[in-house]
Chains A and B, each alone.
Chain A
Amino acid sequence: MSGHVSPVSLYITIFMALMVLTAATVGAAFVDLGQFNFAVAMIIASFKATLVIWYFMHVKYASKLTKLTVATGLFFLAILLGLFLVDYGSKALTQMPPFLS
C-alpha cells in the first residue's frame, strides 16, 4: 500500500532535463525571435512544469480524480487569462490609456 516508487535514475533524468531546459530558456531569450520569444519561453516553462507535475508529483501514477483535479485547475486558469484577453485584447484595438497618448 505504499504507492508507486519511482527509480532514482528517473528522478535524476528529470532533474537533468529541467536544468537543460532552464539553460535553453535563458539561451532562447538572447536570440531575437520577435513575437515568438515569449511563446518559446512559455512553452519551455510549461514543459518543465509538466515534467515536475507528471514525475515529481506522481500524477502519472495518480488516480483519474487527481488528474481531473489538475486539469480543472488549468482549465479555469485558461478561462481567467483567456477572458481577460477578450477585454484587453480588443481594448488595444482602440487606444492606450489617456496619459500615455
Chain B
Amino acid sequence: MLDKLKIPERNYLNNGHGLASWLLTKDHKRIAIMYLISITVMFFLGGLFAVGIRLELATPAGDFVQADTYNKFFTAHGVIMVFFFLIPSIPAVLGNFLIPPMIGAKDLAFPRINLLSLYIYWIGGIFTLYAMLAGGVDTGWTFYTPYSATGSNSNVVPVALGVFIAGFSSILTGLNFIVTIHRMRAPGMTWFRLPLFVWAHYATSLVQVLGTPVIAITIVMLGVERGLGFGIFDPARGGDPVLFQHLFWFYSHPAVYIMILPALGVMSELISTFTKKTIFGYSFVAFSSLAIAVFGFIVWAHHMFTSGISTYAAMVFSFLSFSVAIPSAVKVFNWTATLYKGAISFETPMLYAYGFMGLFLIGGLTGLFLATLGLDIHLHDTYFVVAHFHYIMVGGAIMGYMGGLHFWWPKLTGRMYSEFFSRISAILVFVGFNLTFFPQFVVGYLGMPRRYHSYPDEFQVLNVLSSAGASVLGLGYFLPVIYLLWSLKKGAIAGPNPWGASGLEWQMQSPPLTENFVEVPIVTHDAYEYEHVVAKEKHLV
C-alpha cells in the first residue's frame, strides 16, 4: 500500500519557488515552516549557553568562566529559551500550521498580520542577538530592578527592547488565533466539535493577548528609568522594586501557561490518536484549558514570597496558587482514563506523550511545594526551583513540542522519518532529562542556590550527574535534526493519514494544498470519532 503512495503534484511546498515566494508568502503553512527553522536555530543557540552553564558547574571551583561571564550565560540561556523558543514554539509552528485545517478554514483570519508577526519576531531576535554579541547582559532573564535599572553595566536596553518587540509577535499570533477560531470555522464545526488542540490554543491566545502588554509596559518603564533617568522602581528615589516584580510576574507567570497550554493540547491529540479512543471527559479537558488560562493570572505573587510582599497577600496568593492544580489534574486524570482499555501503541509521538505525562506530573506537584509559604522560604532561589520549572518547560513544553513535531511531521512534509532512530531519540531525551534535572531537586533541597558559578565540594556528585545528563539530553535533541532532515529526501511517503487519526487536518493531502482543502469541508461528527476514520481507510484499500 505504502509504496503506491506519491507526494501530491500540487502542494504548498512547490507552489512558488525562490526566496521571495517564502518571504512574501501569506500562507500560514509556509510561515509556520519559517518559524520552525527560526526557533530551531534559537533553540540550539540557547542550548549552547546551557552547555556553558553545565561545563562550569561540573566542578565546584569557578574555573571555566568568570562569575560575570557565567551570569551572562544563564541570562542568555533564559532569555533565548523563554522568549524566543518556548513562547513561540508550539503556537507559532504547530498552531500556525494546524489551526486553520483543524477548523476547516483556508487560512488564518489575518494572513498579512501573521507574516508581520514573523518579521517582528526576527527583529526582536536581531536586537537580542546583537546584545549578546556586544557583550551580553547579566541581569538574569527576570531583569529585576534596581540592578537592571541602575546597577548593571551590560546591554540591558537592547535585550529588553528585543523582548519588547518579540512580545508584539506573540500578541499578533494570539490575536490572529482568537479571531480565526471565532470566525473561520467550517459549517458544522461547533465549539464542542473542535479538537482539544484548538481549545488549548484558544486559551493560550487569551494569555498572550492579555499578559504580554503588561510586560511591554514594564519594559517601557524599565527603559525610561535606565535610559532617561526617570525614577519609578529605584528605591534610592522613593521607588518600589517590588512593583517591578509584580508587573513582571503578572505577565511572566501566565507566560508559563503560554508555554505549557499548547503542549497540553498536543497531548490530547496524541493520546486520543494512539489509543483510538475519544478523550475521556472532552468538555472538562476543554474548559480546564480556559480555567488554567484564567487562574494563571491570579497567582503571580508566589514568585515573590521572599521579596517583601505583605504577609496577608502572600497567604492569598499561596491559596490561589493551589487552585491551578485542579484544572491541571483534571487533564492528567482524564488522559489516564483515556488510556484505560485503549488500543495503546508505542510510536515515537506516543513515547513523548508518556514521558510528558510523568514529567508534567512531577513538575506540577513540585510547584505545589513551592506555592507553600513556609517551604518556599527554604526552597526559594535554590536549584529546587530550577528543577521544578525545567520539569514544566523542558519535560512538559518541549516534550509536547517534540511529540507534536513527530506526530505532524508527515503532514508538514509528506514523509516519514526513521521510526528506529526517533524512538532512540525519545528515550535519550527522557533519560537524559531526568538525569539532568532530578539531581537538581536534591541539590536544591540541600541548599545550593541558583545563579552561582561555584559551589561547595559536597554538591559535586549531584552536579556531575546533572552535567552528564545534559550531554545525553543534548544528543537526544540533536539526533532528530539528522533523521528529520534525512526524511525530507529519503523518508517513506506518508500518505494523508499515516496514524489513522480523526482530525480534519488528516483529511488533507500530505503535504497539503496551499488552500488546504479542495472544497470547504462540512463537519458532521464530533472530534475523536474513529468509526468514520476506519470506514474511510477501508474504502481507500
Enumerate chain A interface residues (CB-CB to B < 8 A): 65, 72-73, 76, 79-80, 83-84, 86-88, 90-91, 93-94, 97, 99-100
B235 and A97 contacting across the interface, CB-CB below 8 Å: yes
A99 and B309 contacting across the interface, CB-CB below 8 Å: no
Which of B206, B210, B214, B310 makes the CB contact (< 8 A) with A94? Answer: B310
B310 and A87 contacting across the interface, CB-CB below 8 Å: yes
Task: Determine the chain A residues whose CB is within 8 A of the CB of B316 once the complex forms.
Answer: 86
For the complex formed, measure the closest distance between the CB of A35 and the CB atoms of chain B, giving whole angstroms.
22
B235 and A84 contacting across the interface, CB-CB below 8 Å: no
A83 and B301 contacting across the interface, CB-CB below 8 Å: yes
Task: Determine the chain B residues whose CB is within 8 A of the CB of A76 once the complex forms.
Answer: 210, 297
The answer, yes or no, to whether B374 is at the interface (CB within 8 Å) is no
Determine the distance from Cα of A99 to Cα of B234 in the docked complex, in whole angstroms.
Answer: 13
Determine the distance from Cα of A99 to Cα of B231 in the docked complex, in whole angstroms.
Answer: 15
Task: Determine the chain B residues whose CB is within 8 A of the CB of A86 once the complex forms.
Answer: 312-313, 316-317
Determine the distance from Cα of A97 to Cα of B297 in the docked complex, in whole angstroms.
Answer: 27
Task: Determine the chain A residues whose CB is within 8 A of the CB of B515 once the complex forms.
Answer: none
For the complex formed, measure the closest distance between the CB of A86 and the CB atoms of chain B, giving whole angstroms.
5
Task: Determine the chain B residues whose CB is within 8 A of the CB of A91 once the complex forms.
Answer: 309-310, 313
B238 and A97 contacting across the interface, CB-CB below 8 Å: yes
A65 and B235 contacting across the interface, CB-CB below 8 Å: no
For the complex formed, measure the closest distance between the CB of A60 and the CB atoms of chain B, giving whole angstroms.
20
Max chain B CB contacts within 10 Å: which of A72, A79, A87, A90?
A87
The answer, yes or no, to whether B221 is at the interface (CB within 8 Å) is no
For the complex formed, measure the closest distance between the CB of A75 and the CB atoms of chain B, giving whole angstroms.
9
For the complex formed, measure the closest distance between the CB of A7 and the CB atoms of chain B, giving whole angstroms.
29
Task: Determine the chain A residues whose CB is within 8 A of the CB of B182 once the complex forms.
Answer: 65
The answer, yes or no, to whether B123 is at the interface (CB within 8 Å) is no
Q: 14 interchain pairs (CB within 8 A)?
A: A65-B182, A73-B210, A76-B210, A79-B297, A80-B214, A83-B300, A84-B246, A87-B246, A87-B301, A87-B309, A90-B310, A90-B312, A93-B312, A100-B238
Task: Determine the chain A residues whose CB is within 8 A of the CB of B206 once the complex forms.
Answer: 72
Determine the distance from Cα of A23 to Cα of B95 in the docked complex, in whole angstroms.
Answer: 50
Determine the distance from Cα of A88 to Cα of B240 in the docked complex, in whole angstroms.
Answer: 11
Task: Determine the chain A residues whose CB is within 8 A of the CB of B310 once the complex forms.
Answer: 87-88, 90-91, 93-94
For the complex formed, measure the closest distance between the CB of A100 and the CB atoms of chain B, giving whole angstroms.
8
The answer, yes or no, to whether B250 is at the interface (CB within 8 Å) is yes
For the complex formed, measure the closest distance between the CB of B140 and the CB atoms of chain A, giving whole angstroms.
22
The answer, yes or no, to whether B386 is at the interface (CB within 8 Å) is no
Q: Given A87-B246, A97-B235, A97-B238, answer yes or no on A79-B313 (Cβ-Cβ < 8 Å).
A: no
For the complex formed, measure the closest distance between the CB of A32 and the CB atoms of chain B, giving whole angstroms.
27
B313 and A80 contacting across the interface, CB-CB below 8 Å: no
A99 and B301 contacting across the interface, CB-CB below 8 Å: no
Determine the distance from Cα of A93 to Cα of B313 in the docked complex, in whole angstroms.
Answer: 12
B98-143 contacts to A, CB under 8 A, are none
Contact with A along B238-261 (1 / 0, CB 8 A): 101000001000100000000000
Determine the distance from Cα of A100 to Cα of B309 in the docked complex, in whole angstroms.
Answer: 18
B313 and A87 contacting across the interface, CB-CB below 8 Å: yes
Determine the distance from Cα of A80 to Cα of B247 in the docked complex, in whole angstroms.
Answer: 9
A97 and B240 contacting across the interface, CB-CB below 8 Å: yes
Determine the distance from Cα of A44 to Cα of B313 in the docked complex, in whole angstroms.
Answer: 30
The answer, yes or no, to whether B298 is at the interface (CB within 8 Å) is yes
Task: Determine the chain A residues whose CB is within 8 A of the CB of B298 once the complex forms.
Answer: 79, 83
For the complex formed, measure the closest distance between the CB of B236 and the CB atoms of chain A, giving whole angstroms.
8
Determine the distance from Cα of A87 to Cα of B298 in the docked complex, in whole angstroms.
Answer: 12
Max chain A CB contacts within 10 Å: which of B206, B238, B312, B316?
B312
Determine the distance from Cα of A84 to Cα of B214 in the docked complex, in whole angstroms.
Answer: 13
Task: Determine the chain B residues whose CB is within 8 A of the CB of A99 once the complex forms.
Answer: 235, 238
Closest to B313 in A: A87
B254-300 contacts to A, CB under 8 A, are 297-298, 300
Determine the distance from Cα of A73 to Cα of B312 in the docked complex, in whole angstroms.
Answer: 27
Shortest 5 CB-CB contacts between residues of A and residues of B: A87-B313, A90-B312, A90-B310, A91-B310, A86-B313
If A86-B313, A87-B309, A90-B311 are given as contacts, then 4 extra A-B residue pairs at C-beta distance below 8 Å, sorted by A number, are A65-B182, A80-B214, A87-B246, A87-B301
Determine the distance from Cα of A84 to Cα of B182 in the docked complex, in whole angstroms.
Answer: 32
